[in-house]
Amino acid sequence: MNEPRYNAGAIDASACISNGWELIKPNYWMYFGITILTMLMVSCIPCVNFFIAGPVMGGLYFVFLRDMRGEPVDFGMMFKGFEKFLPLMIVGIVQSVPEIIAQILRITVDLGRLGLMGNSESSNAGFAMASGMMVLVALAIFVFVIIGVVWRVLLIFAIPLVMEHNLNPVAAMKLSAQAAMSNLGGLILLFILEFLIGMLGVIMLCVGIFFVMPILYAANAFAYRQVFPMVENIFQNIPPPPDTYDGNFGRGM
């Protein structure tokens, strides 16, 4: 299969948001349910979430991209990603590597804090050394959070590429990074707009964030489609009838 081509500088952030809303509006409650279940499966199942995040997100993109093509969609299609479980699982785990490292460091900080509390009678020198180590680990967590954001940006298109074009994980992640770097300005603006919308949802008694999340996911799907446009088959497999063209072209003599 030929590697899909991407457009550089193609992301219109405001159009992604507005088109995302127009897409989900007719079936908002279906998308709301899909989004809530996706968030629960990706975020609220310890350890297991790292293995199913890719397939779950793949199913979410499947529904959005299918709806963009004007094809019928339903709630059960969100599980379509499990049909490509292995490649999507690999992409999902790779995407989560900085997050996994940050969680390990966070646990280290928590254990260190407990150790300091339990050894309050220890020497001042030992206490100061342990405190300094905790500060260094906390700084490392911050660094990995930043790295994680960059990592997610570079791999943002990998999951839909696997779903739509059956690319292997390495090819999908490599192509995603190339496309993301070629659309970095548009992606940054899109993420800023999504952050502001998310903050608006938080202001709405906090629960509002759940109601705007379908729009944000749809906006990301539109960003993918702007960068990787759908290529229509312009060739006809069945030749046209002889009288399609003027003259005697294609007719028996």
- CA-nearest of 109, 93, 6 to 42 is 93
Confidence of residue 245 (pLDDT cuts 50, 70, 90): very low
pTM of the model: 0.79
pLDDT given at position 87: 96
Residues 6+ apart with CB under 8 A from 30: 73, 74, 75
DSSP 236: -
Q: Give the Cα separation of 246 and 242 in Å (integer).
A: 9
> Where are the domains positioned within the chain?
13-107+135-229
CA dihedral 224, 19, 185, 65 (to 10 degrees): 0
Distances (CA, A) of 111 to 105, 145, 200: 10, 20, 35
Across the chain, what does the average pLDDT equal?
A: 83
Q: Rounded to an integer, what distance in angstroms lies between the CA atom of residue 224 and that of residue 186? A: 11
User: pLDDT tens digits for 78-100?
Assistant: 999 999 999 999 999 999 888 77
